Amino acid sequence: MDLVKELDRKDPAGLGCELHGFAWGLYPICRSITGEGIRKTLAAIGNVIPLELVDVPTGTPVFDWSVPKEWNIRDAFIKSPAGERVVDFQKLNLHVVNYSTPVHAIMPLSELKAHLFTLPEHPDWVPYRTSYYKEDWGFCLSHNQMLALPDGEYEVSIDSTLSEGHLTYGECYLPGRSADEVLISCHACHPSLANDGLSGLTVATFLARFLSDLDLRYSYRFLFVPGTIGAITWLARNQEATERIRHGLVLTCVGDPGGFHYKKSRQGSAEIDRAASHVLRHCGEAAEILEFSPYGYDERQYCSPGFNLAVGCLMRSVWGTFTEYHTSADNLEFVRPQQLAGTLRVCVGILDVLENNRRYRNLNPYCEPQLGRRGLYCSTGGEVIPEDVNARLWVLNLSDGEHTLLDIAERSGAPFRLIRDAAEALSQAGLLAPVADEREEASVSDFGT
């Protein structure tokens, strides 16, 4: 099945708007690594795709970590000496340092300033700050807002709770013909940040919806987890199941106007690394391939040496390199419908390679078979050989049972789609036969879900 062709049957402009609209609905929610915000977000994802929510109690040991206390917040503000809410959580949830402990106090500006965070280099933006693992409280505001605060006594209030509860993550499993899995993971813990957070979970949600009614080779597991601790928690609870993961992608920062970046897995030349690099080379947009490094998103956990899974990370602009990163300017104007739809299409292209990448054997290996008599050699195209005929010659030449279709695509310079179509036409003409994988794919019924 040609997954990209299936996707292209849908109206791309409409799809982009649908994705952006979904992100729009989730933007105001105050998410964190635990609490009602992430649960509300997962519930909204669960309205689009079948999603199982898993609650893991505070204190549960997960490898070298333990599940933190659950954080919830209802309201927060700073009131000026004149009684005015000069910093208001209700207007923007970034105003509160995420995971702030509760506080209600009156204090002079000089004392309050120790708890205020601003971005002097972007004086109108509000920074995003967290304090997950150190109990503290604070407010984020624009630098200009802070400069305008008069001296005097301020009332500060953070109506939050930090107590025993749960860490919640969401899991969507789509069974395919094989029990071997493709993992798609994204973080769902950032509050009102559109590119670093909402873009990844939006594309993942709609990718799962797109795949859910297709007949697929692989089984797919989508994880919507709080960053770092969520991936660690999932891995700790599913250590054995990771043996079924053949390929994986972390999706993040995929809605901004920047070109694509793919960060390779720790393995470096895994099939997912080659598939992603190949698709990006032919996607028609600027794209760069990055080597693995042990910092970044949850690929850090999936690629830790004990697991060493073939999981790469697909981004547009790389975290930390765009000025809007972790600020109020990472909003829904920064993330665009067209870019979200374009990322979805690239993801589908990568999965199309994984779904269709196989080895074949040329059944007529002594000299070229006569393609013309089989309607496979159209010679009316002039001097230059048509690309589909050229692709057939490449497939015939390299189908010795050793080369995969992706190997052939890379060596010929042709896009995978052309090579795959050539293999299909040659198989139908009886010139090519698929070779069984050396590693037999176990069927779903051998494992259950």
Report the nearest approach of Zn ion to the CB of residue 38 (Å).
14
Task: Give the Cα separation of 270 and 406 in Å (integer).
Answer: 12
Q: Which is nearer to Zn ion, 188 or 376 (CB)?
A: 188
Report the nearest approach of Zn ion to the CB of residue 30 (Å).
15
Residue 355 engages Zn ion in binding (rule: CB under 5 A): no
Q: Which residue has the CB atom at the shortest distance from Zn ion?
A: 196
Note whether 100 and 76 are within 8 A (CB).
yes
Note whether 262 and 287 are within 8 A (CB).
yes
Residue 324 engages Zn ion in binding (rule: CB under 5 A): no
Q: Which is nearer to Zn ion, 175 or 197 (CB)?
A: 197
Report the nearest approach of Zn ion to the CB of residue 138 (Å).
17
Q: Name which of residues 272 to 291 contact Zn ion (CB under 5 A).
A: none
List the structure tokens of 402: 């050793």
Q: Which is nearer to Zn ion, 134 or 373 (CB)?
A: 134
- The window from 52-60, 189-197, 259-267, 422-430 that contacts Zn ion (CB under 5 A) reads 189-197
Report the nearest approach of Zn ion to the CB of residue 269 (Å).
28
Q: Which residue has the tokens 């390779």?
A: 264
Give, in order, the Cα–Cα distances in Å from 185 to each of 329, 362, 447. 24, 38, 22
List the structure tokens of 343: 């990322």
- The window from 63-71, 169-177, 196-204, 341-349 that contacts Zn ion (CB under 5 A) reads 196-204
Q: Name which of residues 374 to 403 contact Zn ion (CB under 5 A).
A: none
Strand, coil or helix: 422: helix
Task: Give the Cα separation of 345 and 37 in Å (integer).
Answer: 29
Strand, coil or helix: 359: strand
Report the nearest approach of Zn ion to the CB of residue 195 (Å).
9
- The window from 191-199, 239-247, 331-339, 371-379 that contacts Zn ion (CB under 5 A) reads 191-199
- The window from 20-28, 194-202, 228-236, 272-280 that contacts Zn ion (CB under 5 A) reads 194-202
List the structure tokens of 378: 């159209």
- The window from 188-196, 269-277, 300-308, 400-408 that contacts Zn ion (CB under 5 A) reads 188-196
- The window from 195-203, 282-290, 377-385, 392-400 that contacts Zn ion (CB under 5 A) reads 195-203
What binding mask, one character per residue, do residues 399-438 give for Zn ion by CB under 5 A, x or -? Answer: ----------------------------------------
Residue 194 DSSP one-character state: I
Note whether 359 and 420 are within 8 A (CB).
no
Give the total of residues touching Zn ion (CB under 5 A): 1
Residues 6 or more apart from 330 whose CB is under 8 A from it?
128, 193, 194, 195, 196, 322, 324
Residues 6 or more apart from 291 whose CB is under 8 A from it?
263, 264, 268
Closest CA to 168 of 284, 56, 291: 56
DSSP H or E segment with residue 166: strand 166-174
Q: Which is nearer to Zn ion, 137 or 322 (CB)?
A: 322
Q: Which is nearer to Zn ion, 196 or 355 (CB)?
A: 196
Q: Name which of residues 5 to 24 contact Zn ion (CB under 5 A).
A: none
Q: Which residue has the tokens 């205020």?
A: 116
Report the nearest approach of Zn ion to the CB of residue 102 (Å).
24
Report the nearest approach of Zn ion to the CB of residue 262 (Å).
19
Task: Give the Cα separation of 372 and 393 in Å (integer).
Answer: 12
Strand, coil or helix: 179: coil
Q: Which is nearer to Zn ion, 49 or 97 (CB)?
A: 97
Report the nearest approach of Zn ion to the CB of residue 59 (Å).
25
DSSP H or E segment with residue 101: none
Note whether 3 and 217 are within 8 A (CB).
no
Report the nearest approach of Zn ion to the CB of residue 328 (Å).
13
Residue 196 engages Zn ion in binding (rule: CB under 5 A): yes
Q: Which is nearer to Zn ion, 149 or 229 (CB)?
A: 229
Q: Would you say how long the chain is, in residues?
A: 449
Q: Which is nearer to Zn ion, 196 or 273 (CB)?
A: 196
Report the nearest approach of Zn ion to the CB of residue 80 (Å).
31
Q: Which is nearer to Zn ion, 130 or 339 (CB)?
A: 130
Residues 6 or more apart from 64 whose CB is under 8 A from it?
none
Report the nearest approach of Zn ion to the CB of residue 343 (Å).
17
Q: Which is nearer to Zn ion, 36 or 196 (CB)?
A: 196
Residues 6 or more apart from 84 whose CB is under 8 A from it?
none
DSSP H or E segment with residue 312: strand 311-315
Strand bridging mode 153-163 / 70-79:
antiparallel
Q: Which is nearer to Zn ion, 297 or 302 (CB)?
A: 297
Report the nearest approach of Zn ion to the CB of residue 192 (Å).
12
Residues that bind Zn ion (CB under 5 A): 196
